[in-house]
């Protein structure tokens, strides 16, 4: 079983719900709307949409949103949250390495470090090839990652934090300097003393590496940012946001 088959469960959702506040999501969606400059009604694929926190806000703004994710639990949560919000989103369960669309979307977004999950680089490259395939000519792709240079600079092998409900999260981390993969074992200790352990294993990328991969997939890099306020990318940037575009015929 791959780590991502188990990692995204109710513990993940409960944990992130406590810190992913509406203001953060609103700022991120405002950035997406501004930088992609899409007309109302444009078709957007939220690739690895999770619980649909971005997809819902984009749908509220009048965009035609499809959310694709491999994880049934998060998709079910997204359906419930979108119904509560009163918006229509097409949810599709699928693997990002086999995106089941062709020339259908004006934009694709991949947010919150939802790329680099696969051990083989060819598999990660396949996901980008699928993005190119599903975009219409001239369509844009916004890819948001943790910034590997900042993360490596500030790397700590063990961190912990207590959250509002009293849950203690302890993360034991490893960074492989040869493969640039982050391996984390997360232990959730609930207020009642019960424990749950999960792990992840994610490939980190520099801007240059991602740019080369995007170009290999037929996507032209048109802009790079270091956060969702539009700051220039720097060593100290926490995010790496790359916007690319599919070429037009001729």
Q: What is the mean pLDDT of residues 13-41?
A: 92
Burial-class residue 96 by CB neighbours within 10 Å (0-12, 13-18, 19+): buried
**Domain extents for the chain?**
3-147+206-246, 151-201
Closest-CA residue to 201 (of 113, 84, 95, 117): 117
pLDDT digits (tens, 9 = 90+) for 148-176: 999 999 999 999 989 888 999 999 999 99
134 and 45 Cβ atoms separated by less than 8 Å = yes
pLDDT of amino acid 15:
81
> Using 50, 70 and 90 to split pLDDT, how confident is the model at 199?
very high
**Is the pLDDT assigned to residue 226 strictly greater than 90?**
yes
Q: What is the pTM of this model?
A: 0.96
pLDDT band at 14 (very low <50, low <70, confident <90, very high): confident
- The C-alpha atoms of residue 112 and residue 129 are separated, in whole angstroms, by 20
Q: What is the pLDDT of residue 250?
A: 63
Q: What confidence tens digit (pLDDT) does each residue in 49-107 have? A: 999 999 999 999 999 999 999 999 999 999 999 999 999 999 999 999 999 999 999 99
How far apart CA 2 and CA 115 sit, in angstroms, is 15
Find where tokens 């991602």 sit. Answer: 210
The terminus-to-terminus CA distance of the chain in angstroms comes to: 45
CATH class of 3-147+206-246: alpha beta
Distance CA 6, CA 248 (A): 40
pLDDT of the residue at 20: 85
Kindly state the average pLDDT of the residues 24-50. 97
Q: Is the pLDDT of residue 227 over 90?
A: yes
């Amino acid at each position: 079983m791959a780590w991502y088959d188990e990692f995204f469960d109710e513990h993940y959702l409960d944990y992130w719900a406590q810190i992913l506040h509406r203001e953060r999501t609103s700022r991120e969606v405002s950035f997406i709307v501004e930088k992609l400059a899409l007309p109302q009604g444009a078709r957007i694929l939220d690739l690895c949409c999770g619980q649909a926190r971005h997809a819902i806000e984009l749908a509220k703004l009048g965009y035609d949103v499809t959310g694709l994710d491999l994880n049934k639990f998060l998709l079910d949560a997204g359906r419930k949250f979108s119904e509560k919000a009163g918006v229509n989103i097409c949810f599709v369960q699928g693997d990002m390495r086999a995106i089941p669309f062709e020339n259908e979307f004006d934009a694709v977004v991949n947010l919150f470090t939802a790329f680099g999950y696969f051990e083989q680089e060819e598999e990660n490259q396949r996901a980008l090839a699928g993005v190119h395939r599903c975009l219409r000519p001239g369509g844009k792709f916004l890819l948001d990652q943790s910034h590997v240079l900042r993360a490596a600079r500030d790397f700590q092998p063990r961190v912990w934090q207590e959250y509002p409900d009293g849950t203690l999260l302890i993360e034991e981390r490893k960074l492989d300097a040869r493969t640039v993969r982050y391996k984390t074992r997360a232990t959730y200790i609930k207020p009642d003393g019960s424990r749950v352990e999960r792990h992840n294993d994610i490939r980190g990328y520099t801007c240059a590496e991602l740019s080369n991969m995007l170009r290999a997939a037929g996507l032209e890099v048109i802009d790079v940012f270091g956060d969702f306020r539009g700051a220039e990318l720097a060593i100290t940037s926490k995010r790496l946001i790359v916007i690319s575009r599919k070429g037009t015929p001729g």
